[in-house]
Amino acid sequence: MAPLISTAALAARLDDVSERRPVLLDVRWRLAGPPGVDSYREAHLPGAVFVDLDTQLAGPPGPAGRHPLPDPARLQEALRAAGVRRGHPVVAYDDGDGSVAARAWWLLRWAGHPEVAVLDGGYAAWVAEGRPVTDEVPEPARGDIEVRPGAMPVLDADGAAALARAGVLLDARAPERYTGRTEPVDPRAGHVPGARNAPFTAHLGPGGRWRSPAELAEHFAALDARPDVPVGAYCGSGVTACSVVLALEAAGRPEPAALYAGSWSNWSADPDRPVATGDAPG
């Protein structure tokens, strides 16, 4: 399944009774609030189930990071409660830049569920086209997904440091955080030495839709993230970096890039880890 699905393609799949109806996951979330579940209760795609980033798509914050990978058993329970079944496609959406939906996409892929996509343009594009929404909360039949971690490559801090030397490690945060000019959340400012700044916002084009595969391929080529080079990504807490992994796949990368799941929130919490600042990788 391609990592992105258009609003038109999703609407067609939902209307076609001969198709396996996708499970829809509403993962709207905002760092500064209001809670995404409030927006979900007001209106959402028909049949969509709300899944919370903080409590279901991440483990408790701590030394492993602000959004560490969730316990597999807890993730399995959350996905089964949302109706995710083996052999059935899943589509995730948010109402922002697609990065939270990309986190859901990445986790499902990591869990061994390959049929998952992110709605291109998200909730905003769906509503802008006059497509149906509802405030009715569904009661999905319980799913039977088996979470088997390991289908997507994961880096720890040592692995991220090694990749920054031997391949390409992309930092998905905004330039001001990468350079160390500001750090509003984590203990120290700067970036992993050797990492290259690749803000995740560069993946989007006009109207909040993802850029074309050709444009994404050109973007990553400029960062030396070629298909024959090992590539990994990190961000502040391991969420927006998932959109880098997705964008690389959409650009045609044959093998998935690795995710430094703990990301900067894990790296910066260790005072023994070196930190680079400025525009250069360091």
pLDDT tens for residues 61-74? Answer: 999 999 999 999 99
Q: What is the CATH number of the domain that holds 98?
A: 3.40.250.10
Of 85, 112, 128, at which residue does a domain stop? 128
123 and 23 belong to one structural domain: yes
Say if residue 15 is in the same domain as residue 57: yes
pLDDT in tens, 75-128: 999 999 999 999 999 999 999 999 999 999 999 999 999 999 999 999 999 999
72: domain range? 4-128
Based on the residue annotation, tell me whether 235 is a catalytic residue of this protein: yes
Whether residues 114 and 44 fall in one domain: yes
Would residue 199 count as lying in a domain?
yes
Question: For residue 13, is pLDDT > 80?
Answer: yes
- The per-residue pLDDT for 41 is 98
The answer to the question of residue 190 being in a domain is yes
Catalytic residue, chosen from 235, 244, 251, 258, is 235
Residues 118 and 19 in one domain: yes
Task: Supply the pTM of this predicted model.
Answer: 0.97
Specify if 281 maps to a domain.
no
C-beta of residue 110 within 8 angstroms of C-beta of residue 154: yes
Residue 274 lies in a domain: no
Domain tally for the chain? 2
Cα torsion for 258, 2, 116, 171, to the nearest 10°?
A: 30
The predicted structure's pLDDT at residue 61: 96
* Average of per-residue pLDDT across 31-56: 95
Helix 213-221 to helix 241-250 angle, to the nearest 10 degrees?
A: 110
User: Looking at the structure, do residues 8 and 85 belong to the same domain, yes or no?
Assistant: yes
Q: Please, what is the average pLDDT of the chain?
A: 96
